[in-house]
């Protein structure tokens, strides 16, 4: 399936990826080729086949609702780009 | 000293032939002298390694040594290492000093191993040539203008160049087995869920599995003894007893049935490749195994299924890289959307962006059933092929790759051509089975790999088969010409 350039821009927006306009055509070409590769799947009859999410069909394990980790905020925030008083800083969202 | 295997180093250390500090220093010297040729390490942790080695020697002197005490190894840079850069081969994490150890890393530390550093890889493990790393391409020690394979190209090249006797690696679609084949070394991807994924930076969570790259099957067994096991921190870790993987290495393989899938021995495979793999299978027949042709009829659908499932899961996993809590952040963001978009646009390389976009598209409203759900259904058909096959045979064998290592730059401009590289390895990840690649011949002075595919949790049998082959052949002892 071939994508239009506007679709590529829309996907990039959904992904929160800045893509230069000069590169849109290359992405359009490569993404269209990949989608063409995977389009083979549509011809397969899967009407009675259950989707497979885990190779061993395991289910999500649950654990007791108990505290197992101690708070390590300072340790983890050491690698953050910007913090203040224990919070992560981003540009103002609400005026 | 650098030609010794993990098993030999462990024996020498136990016999007091040399100390851990001596063997560690010898590898560190060798990395410094030679790695500029290969670019296999992103970070060398010389100081920490020597400290670990000294601690190991002290432990041995106190009479508390175990098989791994003081043995050097290295980690793929996808495993989080407390206090050490963990880049995943990406600009996005080029400032990420992990605040904790992955379970696999902690297991090796607890076993007394010495980590020499962090190994190069394709960015976020997405690639088959190790050309997509932010830290530059890795070169194949057999021929420097050829690729080492990927994504664990640094692990494979470092082991092939004798810069380290063994390395951790990961495999989502062939990322252990294909580089092992290209570099003439031994690599095993265990059953999905066998090795903890906690602290292993996620690419495609239902496919990713940690494993090993070493020179011999015996060494892989020793590494797996440290790595394998249930981990309550990994919700997909399997609760299954872990055998001693070294216990059955010497068992006879007489009477085993080897399945050869006709779809993996295609006409377009070069006659040289076919011949090397057929010769290897003939060795197994001499050892008493019998051969049976089998069919895995949905093989041709494995790559299309993978290129829906892997990008979809990667688009979700990589959404955490947003420039807020860790990793790369763009300069002067105008608003929060600008912060996300430019941090991610600058931080990720081309292939990673392509896969995020394919995955986001496949998961977007209106397309989910046609892509992701459909792929999961076909995935079950692929798994069922293997389940049927293992009713008839004990192990399946095939070439690991369609050709030996290709030249650098040959496939970088065509993503789909690069994807087809993994044609013989990818179905195994979809099924979640264990598989190994061992060196079994050469074509044009480049190594060729034999792939052994086992039933679920049958790693011991694969290691046994690899070890028995390595007792009667010497392909695993071949060394790149420059290193002789």
pLDDT digits (tens, 9 = 90+) for B204-242: 999 999 999 999 999 999 999 999 999 999 999 999 999
Quote the pLDDT of residue B482: 76
Tell me the β-bridge partners of B291: B258
Quote the pLDDT of residue B116: 98
Q: How many CB atoms lie within 10 A of CB B466?
A: 24
Percent of chain A scored above 90 by pLDDT?
Answer: 79
CB within 8 Å: B99 and A12: no
Closest-CA distance, B162 to chain A, in angstroms, reads 34
CATH number of B6-255+394-483: 3.90.1300.10
DSSP code of B348?
S
Q: Give the mean model confidence (pLDDT) for residues B458-472.
A: 98
Q: B370 and chain A: CB distance < 8 Å anywhere?
A: yes
- The burial of B224, by beta-carbon neighbours within 10 Å (0-12 exposed, 13-18 middle, 19 or more buried), is given as buried
Residue B371: pLDDT band with limits 50, 70, 90: very high
Residue A57: pLDDT band with limits 50, 70, 90: confident
Quote the pLDDT of residue A20: 94
| Helix ranges (DSSP H) in B98-240 | 103-111, 153-160, 177-183, 217-227
What are the E-state strand segments in B23-134? 41-44, 72-76, 114-119
| Interatomic CA distance for residues B406 and B169, integer angstroms | 21
Quote the pLDDT of residue B391: 98
Q: Which of chain B's residues have a Cβ under 8 Å away from the Cβ of A15?
A: 315, 344, 353, 356-357, 360
Quote the pLDDT of residue B32: 98
| Interatomic CA distance for residues B117 and B47, integer angstroms | 10
CB within 8 Å: A34 and B415: yes
Output the six-digit token pair for B230: 């249930």
The answer to whether residues B393 and B294 touch, using CB atoms and an 8 Å cutoff, is: yes
Among the partner residues B96, B345, B378, nearest to A17 by beta-carbon distance: B345
Tell me the β-bridge partners of B189: B435
Nearest CA in chain A to B99: A76
Q: Give the mean model confidence (pLDDT) for residues B168-190.
A: 98
Please check the confidence at residue B484 and state whether its pLDDT lies above 70: no
Q: Is B175 a catalytic residue?
A: yes
**Three-state SS at B182:** helix
| Interatomic CA distance for residues B383 and B372, integer angstroms | 16
- The burial of B182, by beta-carbon neighbours within 10 Å (0-12 exposed, 13-18 middle, 19 or more buried), is given as buried
Quote the pLDDT of residue B266: 83
**Three-state SS at B367:** coil
Quote the pLDDT of residue B18: 98
The kind and range of the H/E element at B395 are strand B395-399
CB contact set of B43 (below 8 Å; sequence gap of 6+): B77, B84, B85, B87, B117, B118
Please check the confidence at residue B298 and state whether its pLDDT lies above 80: yes
DSSP code of B342?
H
Output the six-digit token pair for A47: 């009407």
Four-residue CA torsion sign, B34, B39, B40, B45: positive
Residue B49 vs residue B1, higher pLDDT: B49
Residue B39: pLDDT band with limits 50, 70, 90: very high
Please check the confidence at residue B20 and state whether its pLDDT lies above 70: yes
Q: Give the mean model confidence (pLDDT) for residues B391-407.
A: 97
- Mutant choice from A68, A70, A73, A81 vs B, greatest count of B C-beta within 10 A: A81
Per the document, the length of chain B is 484
Please check the confidence at residue B85 and state whether its pLDDT lies above 80: yes
Output the six-digit token pair for B252: 């006879």
Quote the pLDDT of residue A91: 93
Output the six-digit token pair for B176: 């252990």
* Among B142, B193, B111, residue whose Cα is nearest residue B434: B193
pLDDT digits (tens, 9 = 90+) for B347-370: 999 999 999 999 999 999 899 999
- Mean of all residue pLDDT scores within chain B: 97
Q: Is B373 a catalytic residue?
A: no
The answer to whether residues B86 and B318 touch, using CB atoms and an 8 Å cutoff, is: no
| Interatomic CA distance for residues B114 and B156, integer angstroms | 18
**Three-state SS at B166:** strand
* Among B169, B61, B11, B377, residue whose Cα is nearest residue A43: B377
The answer to whether residues B119 and B155 touch, using CB atoms and an 8 Å cutoff, is: yes
Residue B72 vs residue A54, higher pLDDT: B72
User: Which segment of A65-69, B92-96, B299-303 scores lowest on mean pLDDT?
Assistant: A65-69
* Structure-token match 């070493």, residue found: B214
Q: Is B155 a catalytic residue?
A: no
Domain extents for chain B?
6-255+394-483
Report the alpha-carbon angle B376-B379-B382, nearest 5.
Answer: 165
The answer to whether residues B329 and B346 touch, using CB atoms and an 8 Å cutoff, is: no
pLDDT digits (tens, 9 = 90+) for B315-339: 999 999 999 999 999 999 999 999 9
Percent of chain B scored above 70 by pLDDT?
Answer: 100
Please report the domains of chain A, with CATH numbers, ordered by start residue. 5-41 (1.10.20)
């Amino acid at each position: 399936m071939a994508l239009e350039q506007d679709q590529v821009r829309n996907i990039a927006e959904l992904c929160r990826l800045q893509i230069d306009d000069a590169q849109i055509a290359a992405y359009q070409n490569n993404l269209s080729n990949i989608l063409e590769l995977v389009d083979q799947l549509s011809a397969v009859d899967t009407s009675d086949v259950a989707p497979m999410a885990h190779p061993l069909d395991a289910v999500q394990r649950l654990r007791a609702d108990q505290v197992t980790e101690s708070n390590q905020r300072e340790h983890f925030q050491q690698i953050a780009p910007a913090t203040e008083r224990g919070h992560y800083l981003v540009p103002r969202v609400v005026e | 000293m650098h030609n010794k295997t993990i098993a030999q180093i462990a024996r020498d250390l136990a016999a007091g032939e040399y100390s851990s500090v001596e063997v560690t220093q010898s590898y560190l010297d060798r990395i410094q002298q030679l790695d500029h040729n290969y670019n296999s390490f992103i970070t060398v942790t010389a100081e920490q390694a020597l400290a670990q080695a000294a601690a190991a020697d002290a432990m041995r002197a106190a009479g508390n040594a175990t098989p791994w005490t003081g043995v050097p190894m290295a980690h793929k840079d996808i495993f989080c290492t407390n206090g050490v850069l963990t880049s995943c081969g990406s600009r996005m994490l080029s400032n990420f000093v992990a605040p904790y150890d992955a379970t696999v890393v902690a297991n090796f530390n607890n076993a007394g191993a010495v980590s020499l550093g962090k190994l190069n890889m394709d960015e976020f493990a997405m690639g088959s040539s190790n050309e997509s790393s932010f830290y530059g391409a890795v070169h194949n020690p057999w021929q420097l203008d050829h690729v080492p394979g990927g994504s664990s190209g640094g692990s494979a090249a470092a082991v092939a160049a004798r810069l380290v006797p063994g390395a951790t690696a990961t495999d989502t679609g062939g990322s252990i087995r294909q580089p092992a084949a290209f570099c003439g070394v031994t690599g095993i991807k265990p059953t999905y869920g066998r090795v903890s994924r906690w602290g292993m930076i996620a690419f495609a969570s239902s496919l990713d599995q940690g494993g090993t790259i070493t020179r011999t099957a015996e060494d892989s067994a020793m590494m797996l003894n440290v790595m394998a096991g249930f981990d309550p921190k990994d919700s997909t870790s399997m609760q299954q007893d872990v055998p001693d993987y070294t216990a059955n290495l010497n068992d006879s393989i007489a009477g085993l049935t080897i399945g050869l899938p006709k779809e993996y021995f295609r006409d377009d495979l070069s006659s040289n490749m076919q011949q090397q793999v057929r010769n290897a299978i003939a060795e197994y027949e001499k050892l008493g195994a019998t051969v049976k042709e089998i069919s895995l009829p949905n093989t041709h659908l494995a790559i299309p299924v993978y290129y829906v499932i892997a990008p979809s899961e990667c688009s979700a996993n990589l959404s955490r890289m947003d420039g807020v809590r860790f990793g790369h952040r763009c300069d002067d963001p105008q608003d929060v959307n600008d912060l996300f978009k430019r941090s991610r646009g600058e931080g990720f390389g081309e292939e990673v962006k392509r896969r995020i976009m394919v995955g986001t598209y496949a998961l977007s409203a209106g397309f989910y059933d046609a892509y992701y759900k459909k792929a999961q259904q076909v995935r079950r058909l692929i798994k069922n092929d293997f389940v049927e096959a293992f009713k008839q045979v004990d192990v399946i064998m095939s070439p690991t790759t369609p050709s030996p290592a290709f030249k650098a730059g040959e496939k970088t401009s065509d993503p789909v051509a690069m994807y087809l590289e993994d044609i013989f390895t990818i179905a195994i990840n979809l099924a979640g089975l264990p598989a190994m690649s061992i060196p079994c011949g050469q074509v044009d002075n480049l190594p060729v790999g034999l792939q052994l595919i086992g039933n679920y949790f049958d790693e011991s049998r694969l290691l046994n088969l690899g070890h028995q082959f390595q007792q009667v052949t010497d392909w695993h002892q071949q060394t790149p010409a420059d290193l002789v």
